[in-house]
Chains A and B, each alone.
Chain A
Amino acid sequence: GQQVMQIPQYQHVQEGEDFTTYCNSSTTLSNIQWYKQRPGGHPVFLIQLVKSGEVKKQKRLTFQFGEAKKNSSLHITATQTTDVGTYFCAGPGGGTASKLTFGTGTRLQVTL
Protein backbone atom coordinates (compact mmCIF):
# COMPACT_ATOMS: atom_id res chain seq x y z
CA GLY A 1 0.00 0.00 0.00
CA GLN A 2 0.86 3.66 -0.09
CA GLN A 3 3.62 4.73 2.28
CA VAL A 4 4.54 8.22 3.35
CA MET A 5 7.86 8.60 5.12
CA GLN A 6 9.32 11.63 6.82
CA ILE A 7 12.87 12.41 7.83
CA PRO A 8 14.23 13.10 10.27
CA GLN A 9 12.12 11.44 12.96
CA TYR A 10 13.37 13.89 15.53
CA GLN A 11 15.38 17.09 15.53
CA HIS A 12 16.59 19.23 18.37
CA VAL A 13 17.64 22.79 17.52
CA GLN A 14 18.54 25.91 19.38
CA GLU A 15 16.20 28.84 19.05
CA GLY A 16 17.11 30.86 15.98
CA GLU A 17 18.41 27.89 13.97
CA ASP A 18 16.64 26.73 10.84
CA PHE A 19 14.78 23.43 10.54
CA THR A 20 13.68 21.30 7.60
CA THR A 21 11.58 18.15 7.42
CA TYR A 22 11.22 16.06 4.29
CA CYS A 23 8.28 13.99 3.20
CA ASN A 24 8.41 11.22 0.59
CA SER A 25 5.50 9.27 -0.82
CA SER A 26 5.69 5.91 -2.55
CA THR A 27 3.02 7.10 -5.00
CA THR A 28 2.25 10.31 -6.86
CA LEU A 29 -0.01 12.61 -4.87
CA SER A 30 -2.77 14.86 -6.16
CA ASN A 31 -2.08 17.16 -3.25
CA ILE A 32 -0.18 17.21 0.00
CA GLN A 33 -1.20 18.62 3.34
CA TRP A 34 0.85 19.57 6.39
CA TYR A 35 -0.30 19.41 9.98
CA LYS A 36 1.24 20.45 13.28
CA GLN A 37 0.63 18.72 16.58
CA ARG A 38 1.75 20.45 19.75
CA PRO A 39 2.75 18.21 22.68
CA GLY A 40 -0.40 16.82 24.27
CA GLY A 41 -2.55 18.33 21.55
CA HIS A 42 -4.25 17.29 18.36
CA PRO A 43 -3.11 17.73 14.75
CA VAL A 44 -3.96 21.09 13.26
CA PHE A 45 -4.00 21.78 9.53
CA LEU A 46 -1.32 24.15 8.30
CA ILE A 47 -1.48 24.19 4.51
CA GLN A 48 -2.24 22.30 1.32
CA LEU A 49 -0.14 22.20 -1.84
CA VAL A 50 -1.64 21.11 -5.13
CA LYS A 51 0.57 22.08 -8.07
CA SER A 52 3.83 20.48 -9.13
CA GLY A 53 6.73 22.60 -7.87
CA GLU A 54 4.45 24.77 -5.77
CA VAL A 55 5.97 26.88 -3.01
CA LYS A 56 3.92 28.53 -0.29
CA LYS A 57 5.01 30.63 2.66
CA GLN A 58 3.42 31.28 6.01
CA LYS A 59 5.56 33.80 7.89
CA ARG A 60 8.72 31.81 8.80
CA LEU A 61 7.41 28.53 7.30
CA THR A 62 8.09 27.60 3.68
CA PHE A 63 6.38 24.62 2.09
CA GLN A 64 7.39 23.01 -1.20
CA PHE A 65 5.78 20.34 -3.36
CA GLY A 66 8.15 18.39 -5.57
CA GLU A 67 8.08 18.49 -9.35
CA ALA A 68 7.10 14.81 -9.50
CA LYS A 69 4.46 15.33 -6.79
CA LYS A 70 5.96 12.54 -4.70
CA ASN A 71 7.83 14.61 -2.15
CA SER A 72 7.48 17.74 -0.12
CA SER A 73 9.38 19.74 2.44
CA LEU A 74 8.69 22.15 5.27
CA HIS A 75 11.37 24.65 6.19
CA ILE A 76 11.22 26.84 9.27
CA THR A 77 13.51 29.86 9.37
CA ALA A 78 14.84 31.07 12.71
CA THR A 79 12.93 28.64 14.91
CA GLN A 80 11.16 29.80 18.03
CA THR A 81 10.04 27.83 21.07
CA THR A 82 6.47 28.14 19.77
CA ASP A 83 7.50 25.90 16.84
CA VAL A 84 7.87 22.90 19.14
CA GLY A 85 5.72 19.97 18.12
CA THR A 86 5.39 17.18 15.59
CA TYR A 87 4.94 18.02 11.94
CA PHE A 88 3.06 15.58 9.72
CA CYS A 89 2.62 15.53 5.98
CA ALA A 90 -0.38 13.73 4.54
CA GLY A 91 -1.62 12.84 1.11
CA PRO A 92 -4.75 11.25 -0.33
CA GLY A 93 -4.33 7.72 -1.56
CA GLY A 94 -4.16 4.14 -0.46
CA GLY A 95 -6.41 3.32 -3.37
CA THR A 96 -9.02 5.96 -2.69
CA ALA A 97 -9.17 9.72 -2.49
CA SER A 98 -11.55 9.40 0.45
CA LYS A 99 -8.83 9.29 3.04
CA LEU A 100 -5.42 10.66 3.88
CA THR A 101 -2.26 8.70 4.53
CA PHE A 102 -0.22 10.49 7.16
CA GLY A 103 3.53 10.53 7.23
CA THR A 104 5.48 9.21 10.17
CA GLY A 105 6.03 12.71 11.51
CA THR A 106 9.03 14.78 12.56
CA ARG A 107 9.24 15.88 16.16
CA LEU A 108 10.89 19.26 16.62
CA GLN A 109 12.35 20.33 19.93
CA VAL A 110 13.57 23.91 20.31
CA THR A 111 15.62 25.10 23.25
CA LEU A 112 16.85 28.53 24.23
Chain B
Amino acid sequence: NAGVTQTPKFRVLKTGQSMTLLCAQDMNHEYMYWYRQDPGMGLRLIHYSVGEGTTAKGEVPDGYNVSRLKKQNFLLGLESAAPSQTSVYFCASSYFSGGYEQYFGPGTRLTVT
Protein backbone atom coordinates (compact mmCIF):
# COMPACT_ATOMS: atom_id res chain seq x y z
CA ASN B 1 0.00 0.00 0.00
CA ALA B 2 1.96 3.00 -1.30
CA GLY B 3 -0.56 5.66 -0.20
CA VAL B 4 -0.16 8.82 -2.26
CA THR B 5 2.70 9.05 -4.74
CA GLN B 6 3.83 11.97 -6.85
CA THR B 7 6.03 12.17 -9.90
CA PRO B 8 8.42 13.76 -10.52
CA LYS B 9 10.07 14.67 -7.21
CA PHE B 10 12.05 17.56 -8.66
CA ARG B 11 11.86 19.52 -11.89
CA VAL B 12 13.44 22.61 -13.36
CA LEU B 13 11.57 24.37 -16.16
CA LYS B 14 12.31 27.37 -18.28
CA THR B 15 9.70 30.12 -18.52
CA GLY B 16 7.08 29.18 -21.07
CA GLN B 17 7.63 25.42 -20.94
CA SER B 18 4.84 23.07 -20.01
CA MET B 19 4.69 20.05 -17.76
CA THR B 20 2.33 17.67 -16.02
CA LEU B 21 2.60 16.52 -12.43
CA LEU B 22 1.11 13.12 -11.69
CA CYS B 23 -0.52 12.12 -8.44
CA ALA B 24 -1.65 8.57 -7.75
CA GLN B 25 -3.38 7.06 -4.73
CA ASP B 26 -4.17 3.44 -3.99
CA MET B 27 -6.61 3.97 -1.11
CA ASN B 28 -9.75 4.20 -3.23
CA HIS B 29 -10.29 7.76 -2.06
CA GLU B 30 -12.98 9.85 -3.73
CA TYR B 31 -11.46 13.27 -3.09
CA MET B 32 -8.13 14.51 -4.39
CA TYR B 33 -6.43 17.87 -4.05
CA TRP B 34 -3.49 19.85 -5.39
CA TYR B 35 -1.78 22.40 -3.12
CA ARG B 36 1.18 24.65 -3.50
CA GLN B 37 3.37 25.62 -0.58
CA ASP B 38 5.52 28.72 -0.60
CA PRO B 39 7.70 29.94 2.29
CA GLY B 40 5.57 31.63 4.91
CA MET B 41 2.38 31.07 2.91
CA GLY B 42 1.14 27.77 4.24
CA LEU B 43 -0.76 25.43 1.94
CA ARG B 44 -2.91 26.98 -0.76
CA LEU B 45 -5.43 24.91 -2.69
CA ILE B 46 -5.03 25.02 -6.46
CA HIS B 47 -7.71 22.60 -7.72
CA TYR B 48 -9.56 19.65 -6.30
CA SER B 49 -11.76 16.78 -7.38
CA VAL B 50 -14.70 15.20 -5.61
CA GLY B 51 -14.73 12.12 -7.78
CA GLU B 52 -13.68 10.59 -11.07
CA GLY B 53 -14.37 12.95 -13.96
CA THR B 54 -14.89 16.02 -11.76
CA THR B 55 -12.67 19.00 -11.03
CA ALA B 56 -13.16 22.30 -9.23
CA LYS B 57 -11.16 25.46 -8.67
CA GLY B 58 -9.48 26.17 -5.40
CA GLU B 59 -7.95 29.33 -4.01
CA VAL B 60 -5.18 29.86 -6.59
CA PRO B 61 -6.22 28.11 -9.86
CA ASP B 62 -4.83 30.56 -12.44
CA GLY B 63 -2.12 29.12 -14.67
CA TYR B 64 -3.00 25.51 -13.82
CA ASN B 65 -5.28 22.86 -15.26
CA VAL B 66 -6.24 19.48 -13.86
CA SER B 67 -7.81 16.25 -14.96
CA ARG B 68 -9.21 13.23 -13.12
CA LEU B 69 -9.89 10.64 -15.80
CA LYS B 70 -9.33 7.75 -13.40
CA LYS B 71 -10.30 7.66 -9.74
CA GLN B 72 -6.78 6.88 -8.61
CA ASN B 73 -5.01 9.60 -10.61
CA PHE B 74 -5.09 13.39 -10.46
CA LEU B 75 -2.97 15.33 -12.94
CA LEU B 76 -1.84 18.93 -12.58
CA GLY B 77 -0.74 20.74 -15.72
CA LEU B 78 1.19 23.92 -16.24
CA GLU B 79 0.67 25.07 -19.82
CA SER B 80 3.17 27.94 -19.83
CA ALA B 81 5.31 28.00 -16.72
CA ALA B 82 6.17 31.29 -15.03
CA PRO B 83 8.74 32.03 -12.30
CA SER B 84 5.83 32.76 -9.92
CA GLN B 85 4.97 29.06 -10.14
CA THR B 86 8.22 28.08 -8.47
CA SER B 87 6.97 26.21 -5.44
CA VAL B 88 6.56 22.87 -3.74
CA TYR B 89 3.44 21.08 -4.96
CA PHE B 90 1.62 18.59 -2.78
CA CYS B 91 -1.12 16.24 -3.80
CA ALA B 92 -3.51 14.90 -1.18
CA SER B 93 -6.46 12.57 -1.07
CA SER B 94 -9.25 11.85 1.36
CA TYR B 95 -11.95 9.23 1.63
CA PHE B 96 -14.69 11.78 1.55
CA SER B 97 -15.23 15.48 2.20
CA GLY B 98 -13.61 18.07 4.45
CA GLY B 99 -14.54 16.11 7.54
CA TYR B 100 -12.02 13.41 6.74
CA GLU B 101 -8.27 13.48 7.13
CA GLN B 102 -6.17 14.14 4.09
CA TYR B 103 -3.23 11.98 3.11
CA PHE B 104 -0.41 13.84 1.44
CA GLY B 105 2.11 12.78 -1.15
CA PRO B 106 5.83 13.51 -0.72
CA GLY B 107 5.70 16.64 -2.89
CA THR B 108 7.25 17.92 -6.11
CA ARG B 109 9.77 20.73 -5.95
CA LEU B 110 9.41 22.83 -9.09
CA THR B 111 11.75 25.64 -10.10
CA VAL B 112 10.92 27.87 -13.04
CA THR B 113 13.81 29.95 -14.34
Interface check B106, CB cutoff 8 A: yes
Q: Which residues of B contact A31 (CB under 8 A)?
A: 98-99
The binding surface of chain A is classed by DSSP as strand
Given contacts A42-B105, A42-B106, is CB(A97)–CB(B42) below 8 Å? no
Instruction: State in angstroms the CA–CA spacing of A67 and B40 once bound together.
Output: 29
A100 to chain B, nearest CB (A): 5
Question: Which of chain B's residues have a CB closer than 8 A to the CB of A101?
Answer: 45
Stretch of A13-21, A43-51, A52-60, A73-81 lying at the B interface? A43-51
Q: Report B-chain residues with C-beta under 8 Å of the C-beta of A93.
A: 98
Q: How far is the CB of A103 from chain B (nearest CB, A)?
A: 7
Q: How far is the CA of A93 from the CA of B98 in the complex (A)?
A: 8
A43-B90, A88-B42 as given contacts; A99 in contact with B33, CB under 8 Å? yes
* Residues on the B chain within 8 Å of A30, using CB: 98-99
* Central interface residue in A1, A88, A101, A103, by most chain B CB within 10 Å: A101
Give B2-46 as 1s and 0s: 1 = Cβ < 8 Å from A's Cβ atoms: 000000000000000000000000000001010100001111110
Contact B102 A42 (CB under 8 A): no
Q: How far is the CA of A41 from the CA of B41 in the complex (A)?
A: 16
For the complex, count residues of B whose C-beta is within 8 A of A.
Answer: 26
Contact, CB under 8 Å: A42 / B90: yes
B64 within 8 A of A: no
Determine which of B42, B48, B56 lies in contact with A102 in the assembled complex, contact meaning CB atoms within 8 Å: B42
**Inter-chain contacts of B92 with A (CB < 8 A):** 43
Place the interface of chain A in its size category.
20 to 34
User: Is the C-beta of B74 less than 8 angstroms from some C-beta in chain A?
Assistant: no
Tell yes or no: B50 within 8 A of A by CB.
Answer: yes
Q: How many angstroms between the C-alpha atoms of A16 and B91 in the bound complex?
A: 35
B103 touching A97 by the CB < 8 A rule? no
B interface, CB within 8 angstroms of A:
31, 33, 35, 40-45, 48, 50, 56, 58-59, 90, 92, 97-99, 101-107
> Interface of A with B (CB < 8 Å)?
1, 9, 30-31, 33, 41-45, 48, 88, 91-94, 96-105
